[in-house]
């Protein structure tokens, strides 16, 4: 069953917490991964791969650079999840 928007944000928060050590409650829709959450380009790759596994979605490298905020990533997963 496809995940809801709230479930995706919650899942991303857990992933960002595990990979970058950012408190899960800081991971909110409008937050920028690099500017607000201190997730650098390499950690972003780890976040993307973890999100792919968790939400059964493929996120090609070319699309990763468009995922600036948690909201961007959530929207991407919502519309691409299998």
Partner 1 sequence: MTAKIKPAKGWPYARIRGVGGYRPTRAVPNEEILKHIDSSDEWIRSRSGIVSRHWAGPDETIAEMTLAASGKAIADAGITADQIGAVIISTVSHFKQTPAIATEIAYRLGTAKAAAFDISAACAGFGYGLTIAKGLVTEGSAEYVLVVGVERLSDLTDRTDRSTAFLFGDGAGAVVIGPSKEPGIGPAVWGSEGDKKEAIEQTFSWEEYREGSPEQFPALRQEGQTVFRWAVFQMAKIAQQALDAAGVKAEDLDVFIPHQANMRIIDSMVKTLKLPEHVKVARDVETTGNTSAASIPLAMERLLATGEAKSGDTALLIGFGAGLVYAATVVTLP
Binding site for partner 1 (CB under 8 A): 40-42, 44-46, 48-49, 61, 64-65
- CA-based nearest residue to 37, from 56, 18, 57: 18
Nearest distance, CB of residue 48 and partner 1, angstroms: 8
Nearer to partner 1, 13 or 44 (CB): 44
Nearest distance, CB of residue 1 and partner 1, angstroms: 26
Nearer to partner 1, 7 or 64 (CB): 64
Is residue 34 a contact partner of residue 65, using CB atoms and an 8 Å limit?
no
Q: How many helices (H) and strands (E) does the chain have?
A: 4, 0
């Amino acid at each position: 069953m496809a995940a809801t928007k709230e479930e995706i944000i919650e899942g991303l928060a857990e992933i960002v917490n595990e990979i970058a050590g950012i408190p899960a409650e800081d991971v909110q829709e409008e937050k920028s991964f690099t500017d607000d959450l201190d997730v650098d380009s390499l950690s972003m790759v780890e976040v993307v791969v973890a999100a792919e596994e968790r939400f059964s979605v493929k996120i090609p490298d070319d699309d990763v650079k468009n995922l600036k905020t948690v909201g961007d990533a959530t929207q991407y997963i919502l519309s691409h999840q299998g």
